[in-house]
Amino acid sequence: MMFYGPRIRQARELREFTQGKLAKAVGVSQALIASIETELRLPSEALLAKIAQALTLPIAYFSEPQSLEIPPSSLLFRARASISNRAVTEASRVAEHVLALATSLAKHVDIPVHVHPLHCDPTEAARRIRELLRVPPLEPIPALIRSLERLGIWVLALPVLKDRDAFCMWIEIDGRSIPTIAVCMDQPGDRLRLSVAHELGHLLLHKDKLGRIRSDLEKEAFAFGAELLMPEAAMRKELLPPVTLTTVSQLKPRWLVSMQALIRRGHDLRIVTERQYHYLFQRLSAAGWRKEEPNPIAIERPMLIRKMAEVAYGTPLDYRSLAAACHMLPQEAERLLSFYAAPKAATSGVTSKVVSFPRKRVNA
């Protein structure tokens, strides 16, 4: 059978195996694994079967070239500057795995993209997106992820990845550019919304600069996210001085952002003075709310990718056929899709239309 060595490296990093750990698991030397990954040596069928078993992937996974590679250097994680290179590499491999599933599903459906890079300041960009979403300037966006999915943005739900929030990229599929946001689902609902809004800012404002670590780009993405989720006009109407913890605790469930985000937004807009700002954060710390605020916001899970799977493989999902097409085991396909909401599900307190799109015509 055809064999591609770089796929072993990709799978090994996906499973967080070093070359030494994989070599020990299959009973060979590290040098042999290194030679196989660089295709200086070919594995026997028996050894390839052991490698597939150790990495819990079907042998077919190694029979096709890597269709998509996300360079670890292209990933930027919000507020996570201390992430190790190994952790970033793992995240890129997980994203590639989830993207492989998504791109396989995209062969069966047409998903139009309604957003494009914007060449304006972050505040104006956020206002344009709110207009595109048909959200009034004085109202919150109740279902942010659903709304972005209806614009054709892929929101990938990643398994738990410690200390990582979200990253974004434009991917090319059949000559089309797909805006994609990958989010780790082990974060509070309010932080998840800010992470998604922040990455959307990068997607729209910095398409040709993604992967560059620059403070000015991060500042613009934060400004975009703040205006998108907490528009200045609304904040000046509702976040009235003197701002107190009671004030922000009452606004939190309406705007679906953290108390801390509201305080920072008030400070940025000069509604909250420097002295008030520090005092409010001291109060938050004293109450133990810097790490865990009261009245948590429900987590909104993406839906689009699961809907694509149901269009392609029916309801209930035929995981065996889906997994075979994506070169993964059925139980893994089921696990990856478990992070998505079922199309009829809704986040508590949030209502929205189900994303819909036509099935592609397949010639007989």
Q: What are the φ and ψ backbone dihedral angles of 96, each rounded to 5 degrees? A: -60, -40
* Helical ranges in the chain per DSSP H: 5-14, 19-26, 30-37, 45-54, 85-106, 122-132, 144-150, 189-205, 215-229, 232-238, 245-255, 259-268, 274-286, 304-313, 319-326, 330-337
The set of residues, in sequence order, having a beta carbon less than 8 Å from that of 307 and lying 6+ positions away, is 343, 354, 355, 356
Which of 3.20.20.70, 3.30.830.10, 1.10.10.10, 1.10.260.40 would CATH assign to domain 5-66? 1.10.260.40
Q: Where are the domains of the chain?
A: 5-66, 68-359
- Kind of pairing between the strands at 176-184 and 166-173: antiparallel
Structure tokens, 42: 């070919």
Please give the model's pTM, rounded to 2 decimal places.
Answer: 0.84
The set of residues, in sequence order, having a beta carbon less than 8 Å from that of 80 and lying 6+ positions away, is 163, 164, 165
pLDDT, block means (10 residues), the chain with 364 residues = 85 91 96 95 93 94 77 51 66 80 83 94 98 96 96 87 72 86 88 94 88 81 97 97 94 97 97 97 95 93 93 92 91 91 56 44 34
Going by C-alpha positions, the residue among 216, 274, 270, 280 that lies closest to residue 245 is 280
Distance from chain centroid for Cα 238? 31
